[in-house]
Amino acid sequence: MSTTNGSDVLVIAASNGENLKLAQRFVEQVQKQGNSADLLDLTTLELPLFTPREQDHGMPVEVPALHKQLMTAQRWVICAPEYNGSIPPVLTNAIAWLSVQGDDFRALFNGRPIAMASFSGGGGMELLVSLRIQLTHLGAQVVGRQLLSNYSKAAKDESIADLIQRLMQMSPLQL
């Protein structure tokens, strides 16, 4: 997990394969546009599977640091593959652990601009729909445009640049 001191954009990779490569392209584009960016690879976190029983054992040591990193970034880009027609387990697990951190975990999402992208071996659209529903439910401002790529439809640099430009035009809401 990289550290951040309040970067303009935190790019979150929810796999260590093609979506990590896609996330790195987003970091480069953010920087090319003159903004700061950090990369967070969720697959490097040592988070046990969230269950109520696991929660009884206490908060994993990585959760407070993850929470702080997410809170200090102004905007996020989430790069995730589609898993079984939905959100990948590593992302769902991280959100589950974050949801029991503190009194108001929605403060992490409320009013935060978030862009979504996927490199998926399958269709990918179900992930983007599911993730948009979840992020909106949590109060995030999700960018209207999203990026869907796969082996036969590579992500274009101009599409990444446009998505970052749209994200950077959004300001976190003051709630």
pTM of the model: 0.94
Q: Could you tell me the residue ranges of all domains in the chain?
A: 9-168
How far is Cα 132 from Cα 138, in angstroms, rounded to an integer? Answer: 10
User: What is the pLDDT at residue 117?
Assistant: 98
46 pLDDT tier (thresholds 50, 70, 90) = very high
Confidence at residue 105, expressed as pLDDT on a 0 to 100 scale: 77
**What beta strand segments (E) does the chain contain?**
9-13, 37-41, 75-79, 113-119, 141-142, 147-149
Q: What is the CA radius of gyration of the chain?
A: 15
Q: Per CATH, is 9-168 categorized as 3.40.50.360?
A: yes
- For residues 24 and 20, give the distance between their C-alpha atoms in angstroms, rounded to a whole number: 6
